A and B are shown apart, each in its own frame.
Chain A
Amino acid sequence: MAIKFAGDFAVKRTPEEVHDFLIDPSRFAALLPDFQGLSVQDSTHFTVKVKVGISHIKGTAEVKMELEHAERPTRAHYKGQGSVAGGNVALTATFDLSPLELDGGTKVAWQGEAQVFGRLASVAGGLLEPLGKKQIQKLIDGLQGALR
């Protein structure tokens, strides 16, 4: 089951500042909804734990992330893989940054896809997309707040 998400927002920080924030998991990971923990392996690999739950299916998702591509100050691309509630998730997320001419800020265009496998998709497939989009919006709101 694939959940696709995309959008953009604007912040007043420079593209360099935004890029530095987005490639530093110790700064942005806590913004993930229901964040539980982070362990950083090296400059491009880290693992986040978040609580996930739909109805009676509850658990902790442990997602191994890799900063697969970073081009300061225009792009950051992540891919990740994790397990949750007897299932697995594979995801990609890309942030494309461009300067805003008017106020020196940055336009952040984001897009991604989460592919959910297993029990979670089977049992709660119909709920995953709206729930996923709600959580993504929380994350984006958090990012906007942090980069204000």
Chain B
Amino acid sequence: MSKKDGSKNWVGQPLPRKEENRLLRGRGKFADDIKLREMLYLRFVRSPYAHAKIVSVDVSTAEALAGVAATLTGAEIAAQTQPFIEIAPDPGGKIKDYPLAISKVRYQGEPVVALVAESPSLADDAAELVQIEYDALDPVVDAESALTDKSILHDEAGTNRVWNGVFEYGDVDKAFREAAYVVDIDRMHFHRFSSTPLENNVVIAQWNPKDDRIYFECNNSFPSFAIQFLSAHLGVHIDRIRVETFDIGGSFGIKITNYPQMAVCALASKKAGGRPVKWVETRSEHITSSAHGNERTFRDTRVALDKNGVITGLVSRHIDDCGAYPRYEPLGCVIWSQVFPGVYRFKNARIDFTQAVTNKCPVGPNRGYSRMQHLWFLERVIDICGHELGIPTDEIRLRNYIRPEEFPYTTPNGCVYDSGNYPQMLQLAKERIGWDEWKKKQIAACSEGRLIGIGIGTTLDSGTNNFGQAQIVNPGAPFSGNSQGANCKLDIYGEVVVSVGSCPQGQGHETTAAQVVADVLNIHPDRITVRTGFDTERNVHTGFSGTYASQFAVSGLSAVHGAAQKLKTEMSRLAAFLLEAKEDDLEFSTGEQGPEIRAASTGKAVNYWGLANIVNVNSAVLPPELYELTLNCRYIWRAPFKVPDKQKKYGSLTLTYASQLHIAVIEIERDTFIPRILDYVAIDDCGTVINPPIVEGQVYGATAHGIGAALMENCVYDAVGNMLTSTFSDYTPITAMNMPKVKYDHIETPSPHSYSGAKGMGEGGAAPIHTISAALQDALFASGIIIDDSFNNADSLFRAMTAKEISQADNLVKVERRV
């Protein structure tokens, strides 16, 4: 492929993904493809109870079964390990989290016993023979109840409260004193859902007695985080742990938290004499016990507005449910504040944020992690205020949006939004969907008794975290900043090889990294080999390396760019010597013998093989002053962050802010209550686009995920903590059959915070959840119904529309009018 439109750069070109040739032909390498000699297979025996004491565990019958190599109980693990590190300060910091339950189970599906056997089916049979006696305890299945501490999950913490903090900025009291309108919203709720990657969690572990090292081959998507937890837990120096990842069939963040299963596999291998142990998670295990997204309840929200409907103040109380163990939490208690005011200009706000444990599956950083709940909340606030005050929902947004000329924009809590143009996105979205036409159709449909709603969702995808925000929840947390490493080299025959410490799961890192290097060296991207897949032993990485938090375009590609620049500098010095030319006379180009460097004044050239040959196998010709050249260049990119003010909870928490604006037209069928999407547009702004099809693909993916979450996917628990949606027939993930046609478009507001102007993207800010709630609200507001939950399927709409007390507007929302 050649560059289009006469562009000078490969960045920005719609280059087909280099990965597709391999992946679409079934030639990818996934963790479950690996089969090792003498491999054993692990199964977990899991708790049927959400909350119970473990009275006894009897594995003797299972151990006696022929083909069973070892069993492992929580008590055995506790005797030889330390609890996992807790990020929280006390009381959350007192929680003792082991990978198998010891004296208590705290969610249905919690692993209690692990067995390893010669085959997966033998391990299944053995699991049936384990006898565990439980004494059931009162379960706590919602966070508000949990905070009463009537039934405590972790006795050592003494409370179900993990963390609490008040985020207050500006003069809130003054804003409410001077408000023209005050809108009170009693309760809103963001539901619990998860991700359904094609590939479930997979771990192969070998605790090798020959060298006393632990080898993991797995699909963890943040291995540099995992090894820090594993090292402390297992009491093994971090350099003795090797983690390799390969192609990963989707993660969406939730594979960050499979390190407990990694620990169990390693310990099982150790007990089995060092034989490798493989665990492949089943789909039901994944749904019930891998990781879910955070559930959040918004209480006692008060909104102050001026006479024009501009929000001047906001107070609210947020209660986050992190499930049975905090694990990656309570980072979610602060990560939402990266987008504290959303896309709006209000300056005065107070949010009292509490996180609680409940007898449900632990949460993990699911796509849109922590920010999407808050952004949904803000979008509900803006819609409810608009409807209650009679201001059209597009108009109230325009009155409240941060204005294009205000960027870079500093939020009340010190975050710096790099760039954006929300009014332009709204205008483009309205044009693409045919806003005015749909408004006419809506009026006509209404006169026929049909229920059609048009909703807007404006959201943010903040990327490249400042890990210093961990210190806002725990001042003792030893994290801050962010970095990523990359290596760029000419190998012995002159091939350009790039390695980077990310573990892509479909984001096209091989392609985009090649585009960046191609521009630096002025060669075709096909001439560049990009080695993806994490390897603590071989690949360059930092403590932040992995793939998460919408950051590769900034952190990963900045590292790649830096490494390529260093390589180019070395190549220039070497070529200047060989060609007897000045460095500023050199041109990087491609000649008859491939990529080369040519002296413009003499026409003499040396190709890449020639350069690599001199450094690697013909080095006697090098003068001493060039001995330092390696043509093997490592670069660590560091984000320019400072540690936030922990007391004021103030500071730059994220580097880039991609934005999304979606509009949906939805009809609720009168007879079936099924919400049907009639039209949908998604506008994206991730700054400078590096590869348009990759960006577009990720927008479609995030949109599908969000539509599924809004209308189909819900983790439902009964009163005793049974998860009732543990199979695809009940969890109903979105498929191509349910996906509406999405009109996609984009604008580009380049980020001043990244070298290329690109912003991290891919999480999508859960825009469809906000948008669909808004559209349903638009359809039903005249019926006196407020959409107060993020999940709305035919069943919940039926209940709302036939029994208004569920979300009766008069009970839920009160408006004080002072003008």
A residues neighboring B (CB under 8 Å)? 1-2, 83, 86-88, 90, 115-119, 121-123, 125-126
Say yes or no: A87 contacts B718, CB within 8 Å: no
**174-206 of chain B: CB within 8 A of chain A:** none
CB distance from B45 to the nearest CB of A (A): 8
Q: A119-B284, A122-B108 are in contact. List 4 more A-B contacts (CB 8 A).
A: A83-B48, A87-B48, A117-B136, A122-B726
Say yes or no: A121 contacts B722, CB within 8 Å: yes
Q: Does B723 sit within 8 A of A, measured CB to CB?
A: yes
Q: Which chain A residue shows the least CB distance to B721? A: A117
Residue in B50, B718, B730 whose Cβ sees the most chain A Cβ within 10 Å: B718
Say yes or no: B49 contacts A117, CB within 8 Å: yes
Q: Which one, B134, B284, B719, B720, contacts A123 given CB within 8 A?
A: B284
Contacts of B108 in A (CB 8 A): 117-118, 122
Contacts of A90 in B (CB 8 A): 136
Contacts A88-B134, A117-B48, A117-B108 known; A125 to B719 CB distance under 8 Å?
no
Q: Which one, B134, B136, B288, contacts A122 given CB within 8 A?
A: B288
Distance of A121 Cα from B284 Cα, bound (Å): 13
What mask results when residues 28 to 72 of chain B are scored 1 for a CB within 8 Å of chain A, else 0?
Answer: 000000000000000000111110000000000000000000000
Say yes or no: A121 contacts B718, CB within 8 Å: yes
What mask results when residues 491 to 506 of chain B are scored 1 for a CB within 8 Å of chain A, else 0?
Answer: 0000000000000000
What mask results when residues 781 to 803 of chain B are scored 1 for a CB within 8 Å of chain A, else 0?
Answer: 00000000000000000000000
Contacts of A115 in B (CB 8 A): 720
Distance of A104 Cα from B14 Cα, bound (Å): 90
Of the A-B pairs whose beta carbons lie under 8 Å apart in the complex, a sample of 11, sorted by A's number, is A1-B718, A2-B718, A86-B46, A86-B48, A88-B134, A90-B136, A117-B722, A118-B48, A118-B49, A119-B48, A125-B718
Distance of A123 Cα from B46 Cα, bound (Å): 14
Say yes or no: B719 contacts A122, CB within 8 Å: no
CB distance from B758 to the nearest CB of A (A): 43
Distance of A83 Cα from B730 Cα, bound (Å): 24
Distance of A113 Cα from B46 Cα, bound (Å): 24
Distance of A93 Cα from B308 Cα, bound (Å): 64
Say yes or no: B719 contacts A121, CB within 8 Å: no
Q: Which chain B residue shows the least CB distance to A86? A: B48
Q: Which one, A83, A86, A125, contacts B722 given CB within 8 A?
A: A125
CB distance from B327 to the nearest CB of A (A): 22
Q: Does B727 sit within 8 A of A, measured CB to CB?
A: yes
Say yes or no: B48 contacts A2, CB within 8 Å: no
CB distance from B762 to the nearest CB of A (A): 31
Contacts of B719 in A (CB 8 A): 2
Contacts of B284 in A (CB 8 A): 119, 122-123
Distance of A122 Cα from B726 Cα, bound (Å): 6
Distance of A1 Cα from B48 Cα, bound (Å): 12
Say yes or no: B722 contacts A1, CB within 8 Å: yes
CB distance from A95 to the nearest CB of B (A): 24
Distance of A147 Cα from B179 Cα, bound (Å): 76
Distance of A4 Cα from B733 Cα, bound (Å): 31
Contacts A88-B134, A90-B136 known; A121 to B49 CB distance under 8 Å?
no
Distance of A125 Cα from B48 Cα, bound (Å): 13
Contacts of B724 in A (CB 8 A): 1, 121-122, 125-126
CB distance from A35 to the nearest CB of B (A): 22
Q: Which chain B residue shows the least CB distance to A87? A: B48
What mask results when residues 612 to 642 of chain B are scored 1 for a CB within 8 Å of chain A, else 0?
Answer: 0000000000000000000000000000000
What mask results when residues 713 to 750 of chain B are scored 1 for a CB within 8 Å of chain A, else 0?
Answer: 00000111011101100100000000000000000000
Sorted nearest first, the 7 A-B pairs with minimum C-beta distance are A118-B48, A122-B726, A121-B722, A117-B48, A87-B48, A88-B48, A125-B724
Say yes or no: A88 contacts B49, CB within 8 Å: yes
Say yes or no: A1 contacts B720, CB within 8 Å: yes
Distance of A2 Cα from B724 Cα, bound (Å): 13
Say yes or no: A122 contacts B723, CB within 8 Å: yes
Say yes or no: A2 contacts B720, CB within 8 Å: yes
Contacts of A1 in B (CB 8 A): 718, 720, 722, 724
CB distance from B110 to the nearest CB of A (A): 11
Distance of A117 Cα from B720 Cα, bound (Å): 8
CB distance from B113 to the nearest CB of A (A): 12
Contacts of B718 in A (CB 8 A): 1-2, 121, 125
Q: Which chain B residue shows the least CB distance to A118? A: B48
CB distance from B291 to the nearest CB of A (A): 17
Residue in A90, A117, A126 whose Cβ sees the most chain B Cβ within 10 Å: A117
CB distance from A54 to the nearest CB of B (A): 13
CB distance from B344 to the nearest CB of A (A): 41
Contacts of B730 in A (CB 8 A): 125-126
Q: Which chain B residue shows the least CB distance to A117? A: B48
Distance of A15 Cα from B488 Cα, bound (Å): 90
Distance of A86 Cα from B134 Cα, bound (Å): 13
CB distance from B334 to the nearest CB of A (A): 33
Distance of A115 Cα from B50 Cα, bound (Å): 13
Contacts of A122 in B (CB 8 A): 108, 284, 288, 722-724, 726
Residue in B50, B722, B726 whose Cβ sees the most chain A Cβ within 10 Å: B722
Distance of A86 Cα from B50 Cα, bound (Å): 14
Distance of A125 Cα from B108 Cα, bound (Å): 14
CB distance from A115 to the nearest CB of B (A): 6
CB distance from A83 to the nearest CB of B (A): 8
Q: Which chain B residue shows the least CB distance to A125? A: B724
Contacts of B134 in A (CB 8 A): 88
CB distance from A40 to the nearest CB of B (A): 20
Distance of A83 Cα from B134 Cα, bound (Å): 10
Distance of A138 Cα from B284 Cα, bound (Å): 32
Contacts of A121 in B (CB 8 A): 718, 722, 724
Distance of A116 Cα from B108 Cα, bound (Å): 12
CB distance from B688 to the nearest CB of A (A): 47
Q: Which one, A87, A88, A118, A123, contacts B727 given CB within 8 A?
A: A123
Distance of A90 Cα from B368 Cα, bound (Å): 40
Contacts of A123 in B (CB 8 A): 284, 726-727
Distance of A122 Cα from B286 Cα, bound (Å): 13
CB distance from B503 to the nearest CB of A (A): 31
**110-125 of chain B: CB within 8 A of chain A:** none
What mask results when residues 331 to 346 of chain B are scored 1 for a CB within 8 Å of chain A, else 0?
Answer: 0000000000000000
**674-725 of chain B: CB within 8 A of chain A:** 718-720, 722-724
CB distance from B141 to the nearest CB of A (A): 12
Distance of A88 Cα from B730 Cα, bound (Å): 21
Distance of A118 Cα from B109 Cα, bound (Å): 8
CB distance from A114 to the nearest CB of B (A): 12
Q: Which chain A residue shows the least CB distance to B726? A: A122
Distance of A116 Cα from B719 Cα, bound (Å): 11
Contacts A86-B48, A88-B48, A123-B284 known; A118 to B722 CB distance under 8 Å?
yes
CB distance from B129 to the nearest CB of A (A): 12
Distance of A94 Cα from B284 Cα, bound (Å): 36
Distance of A88 Cα from B719 Cα, bound (Å): 15
**445-459 of chain B: CB within 8 A of chain A:** none
Distance of A126 Cα from B720 Cα, bound (Å): 15
Distance of A88 Cα from B49 Cα, bound (Å): 8
Q: Which chain A residue shows the least CB distance to B287? A: A122
**269-311 of chain B: CB within 8 A of chain A:** 284, 288
Distance of A10 Cα from B97 Cα, bound (Å): 55
Distance of A123 Cα from B108 Cα, bound (Å): 13
CB distance from A72 to the nearest CB of B (A): 31
Distance of A123 Cα from B724 Cα, bound (Å): 7
Contacts of B288 in A (CB 8 A): 122
Residue in A86, A115, A116, A121 whose Cβ sees the most chain B Cβ within 10 Å: A121
Contacts of A126 in B (CB 8 A): 724, 730
Contacts of B46 in A (CB 8 A): 86
Q: Which chain A residue shows the least CB distance to B49? A: A117
Distance of A88 Cα from B52 Cα, bound (Å): 12
Contacts of A87 in B (CB 8 A): 48
Q: Which chain B residue shows the least CB distance to A119? A: B48
Contacts A88-B49, A123-B284, A123-B727 known; A116 to B136 CB distance under 8 Å?
no
Residue in A87, A90, A119, A122 whose Cβ sees the most chain B Cβ within 10 Å: A122
Contacts of A83 in B (CB 8 A): 48
